[in-house]
Amino acid sequence: MKNEFLKGLTSDELEILKNKGTEAPFSGEYNDFFEAGIFICRACKTPLYESSTKFNSGCGWPSFDDEIKNTIVRYEDLSGGRVRTEICCAKCDGHLGHVFTGEQITEKDTRHCVNSLSLQFKAYTKLEKATFGAGCFWQVEKIFKATVGVYLSSVGYMGGNTDNPTYEEVCKGQSNHAEVVFIHFNPDIISYLDLLEIFWNNHNPTTKNRQGLDVGTQYRSVVFFHSEEQMKIVESSLNQQSKNWKNPIVTQIISAEKFYRAEEYHQNYLNKNSLGSCGI
């Protein structure tokens, strides 16, 4: 590691970045962390990973399936009696972790396994949040993920009465959570009203706790607003939409609650499995 970037690092950070150490699994601050922003090198501050490439691999360290172009260098690592590929920051040569392929976890079939102590997170301040429930979250995410102006999307659960719900609990109606898509979007590119139009146009808001053959409270039509302004926009939009439907709209309008990110295999499910839709 280049000496000019050592100043200011703690002993724990030096152990990893300079001496190629490894923090204990599940101990790092970024292991279970999915905010919208960019991850930079803790030593030289070079941007390394967009948060949109981060996923939960279950390995105990932050995982990414892609890097920012030309920011990572790779070395053969024969330590520990096995062949691995070490990854380091291209600018300061600080140790980040290792990269693996062939695990078939993401579309890109790549996992950068990185120490939290090698990284710092910088949040994007110009993005806004939106949360929609419109039936099976696989299809809803696919639609919003392809929308220009949507930077980050995750599927999960909101609006229930238990902590840390599992998919099985949600499907059985035991937690009262809705399946939702949680979005970070750039309002300079797409407005909240435009996102609402996509929401209305891609499900039936007049069927209570049901979308097609999917029946249950988890499939209810719901908008979780993140501000007073969003609430007013949703209410106005719903009034306009009511003119387009023969039956009354039953969509709930609720203040955003805690979002529980769904199990990793649900994230980007249709694209990962080369499916055009849920098949309903």
88, 113, 171, 278: the active-site residue = 113
Tokens of 9: 């690092």
Beta strands in the chain (DSSP E): 37-41, 47-50, 54-55, 63-64, 72-77, 84-89, 95-101, 110-114, 119-123, 128-134, 150-158, 178-185, 210-211, 214-215, 221-225, 252-255, 260-261
89, 92, 136, 278: the active-site residue = 136
Q: Is 207 helix (H, G, I), strand (E, B) or coil?
A: coil
Is 97 in contact with 112 (CB distance < 8 Å)? yes
Q: What single string gives the DSSP state of each residue in 237-273? A: HHHHHGGG-SSPP--EEEE----EEPPGGGTTHHHHT
**Known catalytic membership, residue 171:** no
**Known catalytic membership, residue 41:** no
Tell me how far apart the 2 most distant CA atoms of the chain are, in Å: 70
Handedness of CA 79, 83, 84, 85 (dihedral sign): positive
Is 27 in contact with 45 (CB distance < 8 Å)? no
CB contact burial 35-59 (16+ within 10 A = b; e otherwise): ebbbbbbbbbebebbbbbbbbbbee
- Residue 228 CA from chain centroid, whole number: 24
CA distances from 194 to 75, 149, 189, 206, 237 (A): 46, 10, 10, 20, 10
Q: Which residues are catalytic?
A: 113, 136
